[in-house]
Structure 1
Amino acid sequence: MTFSIVGRSADGQSLGVAVASKFLAVGAAVPAAQADVGALATQSFANLAYRVQGLALLGTGTTAADTVAGLTAADPGRASRQLGVVGRSGDGATFTGDECFPWAGGVAGDGYAIQGNILTGADVVRDMEAAWLADPAAPLARRLHAALAAGDRAGGDSRGRQSAALFVVRRGAGYGGLSDVEVDLRVDDDPDPVTRLGTLIGLWELYFQKPDPATLLPLTGELAAEVAERLAALGFADLAGWAGVENLEERLVDDAIDPLVLAHLRAGSPSSSPSQDRP
């Protein structure tokens, strides 16, 4: 009923899952991940207990393959299950029970596991693997989504499209540096959920990614005067006040400005109230 990829970043620090399905809110059921531990996807009559149990096994240093073996051996319903697991190092592992609805199967390799059931064909999984391997240096969120999008283009879930999700963890990478959840995006009910998920990733990059130090512009001279003038026209005394309203505070730096923040300011986009969209 679903196709997914579980993956680890090239530097080994990020772990995550991307998934799509003709199923309402698939992100509420399939993915699980814990920073410095591992990630997994449970699908095809998903056994949600796999999420807690699998992360517990990975946390003890159990390999992905042994985690899959342990979870499925203890499950009387394993014949109808599908599972993908990646640990903090080594190869990923995937499992497809003999009673999963066709087409069903998966592939795994160093740092990834790809699996799907009720797919249009084996090319869904093959194309996902090719997309994953094509750009190892890409940020994990983008790399996972690229693989998911490739599977979607190849046909994806043979029943149609409804939901998609992306979940990525990395130590201290959450909002304000106070959690390990780097990306947590869901499209619960949409006719083109994988495309919509890509749009949300772009918004996440704008609002929550840290700026690239190499691109920062010193807030001096004419640029400082321009920024002050634009802020005053919008009714703000300083950049921090405006950025807080626009939810761009994660991109603020001292004595400089991120080009993306500057572009947003120059665009003069409408401001929400300070409390809107604030966690």
Structure 2
Amino acid sequence: MTFSIVGYDPKEKTWGVAVQSKFLGVGAVVPFAKAGVGAIATQSYANTSYGPNGLALLEQGKSAQEVLDLLLQEDPDREMRQVGIVDANGQAATFTGKECYDWAGGTTGEYFAAQGNILVDEKTVESMKNTFLETEGALAKRLLRALNAGQAAGGDSRGMQSAALLVVKEAGGYGGFNDRLIDLRVDDHPKPIDELMRIYSLQRLYFSSSKPERIAAIEGEVEDELGRHLSRLGYLTETAGLSDALRAYLHTENFEMREQEKGKIDLDVLDFMKKQS
């Protein structure tokens, strides 16, 4: 009742998992990852011990296939399981037990493993594979597009309910204190992949650094628009000038990563502000 893709980006040094299922809160069950170690998706009567146990084995230097073999060897219900693994070097392995409900299967390629069960047919896995290989850019973007393509090709034959995206990178978390670069979940939604893509866009807005070409001086039309929207939103008052109002807005909305030197603004923030009611 689940399809997922596990991937690695050798340039970014990121590992991640994207998953969708007709299952409540799939993000709490399927994806596991650790920076510098690898990523694992465990599904189909998921044995969640595969996550931490598999990462521990990967951390010992074992390959994805070696870890998969060891996990299955110790599990008497292995034929009910489905697993995808990518190791520290991007080597991939996938397994689909004989007792997984049709359609069930998986495939691997350079830096990824894609798998699913209770699918409409094999086109979901093939579409994830092709889209991942054809898409350029950050790992999160490639994983999400692959997941979306899998849904468009048929997806879970029982429908949609939840989706999740987990991407890790050394010191990639908030403030650099952990490796959770992206950890997003949609636990119950009629269109969980669409919603996951929407909140991923917000995540990039809130936590990515400003692009130099999007930084503008607060003058002319930019100043007029900024003043109008800060006033509309209640930040620009008789006692709060434009600079103080903008600073209050940025800190209230958690846009500290997008804050610029006095007299300048990130236009992506201004665009977001325009859309707020």
| Code of the aligned partner of 1:183 | I
State the AA in 1 paired with 2:91. D
Distance 1:232 1:133, change over 3 A: closer
Report the CA distance shift for 1:227/1:74 in structure 2 as closer, same or farther (over 3 A): same
Q: Please report how far the alpha carbon of residue 218 of structure 1 lies from its aligned counterpart in structure 2 after TM superposition.
A: 4.2
> Distance between the aligned counterparts of 1:268 and 1:104, measured in 2?
43
- CA deviations on 1:147-193 (whole Å, 9 max, x unpaired) are 00011011111111111111111122222333221111111111111
Distance 1:67 1:227 in 2: 56
The residue that corresponds to 1:149 in the other structure is 148
Instruction: Report if the CA contact (8 A) 1:83-1:115 is conserved.
Output: yes
AA matched with 1:154: A
- Please tell me the residue identity of whatever aligns with 1:246: E
Q: Which deviations, in whole Å up to 9, do the C-alpha atoms of 1:100-149 show, x marking residues without a partner? A: 111111011221110001111011100110110112x3111111110000
Deviates more, 1:224-233 or 1:69-78: 224-233
1:171–1:180 contact (8 Å) kept in structure 2: yes
1:160 corresponds to: 159
Which residue of 251, 265, 271 corresponds with 1:244? 251
Q: 1:30 aligns to what?
A: 30
2: CA distance, partners of 1:150 / 1:133? 12
User: 1:214, CA displacement in angstroms?
Assistant: 3.7
CA distance in 2, matches of 1:2, 1:232: 44
Using structure 2 for the length normalisation, give the TM-score. Answer: 0.89
Q: In the TM superposition, what is the alpha-carbon distance from 1:257 to its structure 2 partner?
A: 2.4
Paired with 2:275 and 2:85, the residues of 1 have a C-alpha distance of 45
Q: Which letter does structure 1 place at the counterpart of 2:92?
A: G
Aligned-partner residue type, residue 265 of structure 2 = I
1:254 equivalent in alignment to 2:261 = yes
Which deviates more from structure 2 when the two are superposed, residues 234-243 or residues 27-36?
Answer: 234-243
- Gapped regions of structure 1 (runs ≥ 5): 271-279
The separation in 1 between residues aligned to 2:275 and 2:97, in whole angstroms, is 54
Aligned equivalents of 2:13 and 2:185: distance in 1?
A: 22
Residues 6 and 113 of structure 2 are in contact (CA less than 8 Å); yes or no, is this contact kept in structure 1?
yes
Q: Distance in 2 between matches of 1:32 and 1:151?
A: 20
Distance in structure 2 (CA, Å) of the matches to 1:88 and 1:218: 44
Question: AA paired with 1:240?
Answer: R
Q: 1:247 to 1:82 in 2, by over 3 A?
A: same
- Count of residue pairs the alignment pairs up: 267
Return the offset for 1:12: 4.6
CA distance in 1, matches of 2:269, 2:185: 25
Counterpart of 1:201, as a letter, is Y
Paired letter, 1:152 = Q
CA contact (8 A) 1:107 1:125 kept: yes
Asked if the contact 2:162–2:188 (Cα under 8 Å) also holds between the matched residues in 1, the reply is yes
Q: For residues 256-271 of structure 1, what are the structure 2 equivalents within 5 Å?
A: 256-265=264-273, 267=274, 269-270=276-277
Q: Deviations over 1:24-54 (max 9, x none)?
A: 1111100001111111100001001011101
Shift of 1:206: 1.6
- Kindly tell me: are residues 214 and 228 of structure 1, through their superposed partners in 2, closer, same or farther at Cα, counting changes over 3 Å? closer
2:180 counterpart residue number: 181
Q: Is the 8 A contact 2:214 2:268 kept in 1?
A: no
1:102 & 1:50 partners in 2: Cα distance? 22
Query: Counterpart of 1:172?
Result: 171
Per the alignment, do residues 268 and 146 of structure 1 end up closer, same or farther by CA in structure 2, a change over 3 Å counting?
A: closer
Preserved contact between residue 176 and residue 250 of structure 1 (Cα < 8 Å): no
Answering whether residue 28 of structure 2 is matched by residue 20 of structure 1, we say no
Question: Residue 210 of structure 1 corresponds to which residue in structure 2?
Answer: 209
**Which runs of no fewer than 5 residues in structure 2 stay unpaired?**
none
Q: Tell me the amino acid that sits aligned with residue 258 of structure 1.
A: D
Q: Which residue of 2 aligns with 1:197?
A: 196
Alignment of 1:35-74 (within 5 A): 35-74=35-74
Distance, in Å, in 2 between the alignment partners of 1:231 and 1:188 is 33
